[in-house]
Amino acid sequence: MSVGISGMLVVVGLIFGFGSMVCCVNATKFDELFQPSWAFDHFDYEGELLKLKLDRNSGAGFGSKSKYMFGKVTIQIKLVEGDSAGTVTAFYMSSDGPNHNEFDFEFLGNTTGEPYSVQTNIYVNGVGNREQRLSLWFDPTKDFHSYAIVWSPKHVVFLVDDTPIRVHTNMEKHGLPFPKDQPMGVYSSIWNADDWATQGGRIKTDWNHAPFIASYKGFGINACECSVSVTAAENVKKCTSNGSNRFWWDEPTLQELNVHQSHQLVWVRARHMFYDYCTDTARFPVKPAECEHHRH
């Protein structure tokens, strides 16, 4: 399937003269990209909509069939309506193994009428502890909104409806590790986390309101697909721009946020962010090294 799609892209690329730009799986159908990982009986398919259910017995989760290096993954989600206290819906990319990398969106439910919180986190070489939390500028339970992760050799950007809410910049020049040599899968799941998720764990899941349902549509992966049959080093080579090949994320204009996006990020941080590990001096008496270099 993806061969056909990349073939088509090559043709489109030739017609429109992208020249040597190479790309990508660029697919949008759930079945082409993903498969259920657990609790198959907690999935409902309604045309283009997918619903994941959480009840007393189980949550549910799905994952991408392939792994990728660099690109953009997008999903539209409508979060659990009404009482979602104690539930967490996550959308993330992750590699495998003890030194894994991970980029997380975690949507923390709340009691009826109280706002969801969005937690993001980044693991590099198996180490996380880079949480940020924000409120949203809309009610994420009323409509579908798009949540995306852009991953390039230069940065990781988290986007909500195309507004950047977080940028994690490659600071290898300051001696800090950056995730860029492990293929990552794309995952989503809903589960019960009432020991910590809502108001610090004080509010428990009310199972009388189950099933809790998260709805999905608009799946998109525009990324370099890795082959399972070759070594990590070969995948890195395949997915890295060189003289004859160039990926869209290596375009000079995409190496950092544009002016408009920078303003959006400043606005999000000023108006909506209420926790940033970088400023949590109780937890980190010594400021984490990457925070020293953050421009925002």
Ligand X SMILES: *[C@@H]1O[C@H](CO)[C@@H](O)[C@H](O)[C@H]1NC(C)=O
Residue of the chain from 199, 245, 261, 262 that contacts ligand X (CB under 6 A) = 199
In angstroms, the Cα distances linking 28 to 33, 37, 61, 73 are 7, 19, 18, 10
Single out the residue of 52, 17, 64 nearest to residue 224, CA to CA: 64
Which range of residues in 27-35, 46-54, 191-199, 232-240 is near ligand X by CB under 6 A?
Answer: 191-199
Q: DSSP readout, 73-132?
A: EEEEEEPPPS--TTEEEEEEEE--STT--EEEEEEE--STTSPPEEEEEEEBTTB----E
Respond yes or no: is residue 251 known to be catalytic. no
Q: 266: left (phi > 0), else alpha (psi -120 to 50), else beta? A: alpha
Which entry of 32, 46, 48, 106 is annotated as an active-site residue?
106
Q: CB within 8 A of 57, min separation 6: which ones?
A: none
Single out the residue of 221, 225, 233 nearest to residue 67, CA to CA: 225
Residues 247-276 that bind ligand X (CB under 6 A): none
Respond yes or no: is residue 256 known to be catalytic. no
87 contributes a contact to ligand X by CB under 6 A: no
Whether omega for the bond prior to residue 211 falls within 30 degrees of 0, making it cis, is: yes
Residue closer to ligand X by CB (options 111, 163) is 111
Which range of residues in 34-42, 195-203, 243-251, 262-270 is near ligand X by CB under 6 A?
Answer: 195-203
Q: Smallest distance, Å, CB 294 to ligand X?
A: 23
Residue closer to ligand X by CB (options 114, 280) is 114
Q: Smallest distance, Å, CB 203 to ligand X?
A: 7
Residues 104-133 that bind ligand X (CB under 6 A): 108, 110, 114-115, 117
CB 226 within 8 A of CB 182: no
Q: Smallest distance, Å, CB 296 to ligand X?
A: 22
Which range of residues in 136-144, 197-205, 231-239, 286-294 is near ligand X by CB under 6 A?
Answer: 197-205
Residue closer to ligand X by CB (options 110, 215) is 110
- Given the DSSP bridges, would you call strands 87-94 and 67-78 parallel, antiparallel or unpaired? unpaired
- Given the DSSP bridges, would you call strands 273-276 and 132-134 parallel, antiparallel or unpaired? antiparallel
Q: Smallest distance, Å, CB 274 to ligand X?
A: 7
Residue of the chain from 64, 120, 152, 198 that contacts ligand X (CB under 6 A) = 198
Single out the residue of 42, 47, 8, 40 nearest to residue 24, CA to CA: 8
Which range of residues in 12-20, 47-55, 86-94, 193-201 is near ligand X by CB under 6 A?
Answer: 193-201
Q: What does residue 211 show for φ and ψ, rounded to 5 degrees?
A: -80, 145
169 contributes a contact to ligand X by CB under 6 A: no
Which entry of 32, 102, 131, 256 is annotated as an active-site residue?
102
Q: Smallest distance, Å, CB 36 to ligand X?
A: 26
Active site residues: 102, 106
Which residues of the chain form contacts with ligand X (CB under 6 A)? 108, 110, 114-115, 117, 197-199
